[in-house]
Amino acid sequence: MTTNMPFAPQALARHYYEARREVLALAGITATPWYQLSADERAIADAEGQIVQEAFRRAAEEQQAIDALPHRSATAAAEGAERPPLPVRKRPAGAAAA
């Protein structure tokens, strides 16, 4: 996985914002279109785009570290094999959730 983004950060911010706006619309929430944002709102959207870009960078770095672990075979890494889920600790009957 590459960590280089092949597009301008402003393009990422705009597409992220518009995708977010579409998802919100499906939930019945109206958001201002990108081209109608104020300078302050656009700066916030740009910052959110940078956050998404940083999240991708961290995820790629994490995946590289996981793939480098000696216990992961090449086959498991290629297939995207996951570890078995951790056991769930059950609360005693009648215990309140924390």
Q: What is the CA radius of gyration of the chain?
A: 20
| pTM, full prediction | 0.57
pLDDT attached to residue 4: 60
Could you report the per-residue pLDDT of 76-94, keeping only the tens digit for each? 656 666 666 666 666 666 6
Is the sign of the CA dihedral 73, 79, 80, 83 positive or negative? negative
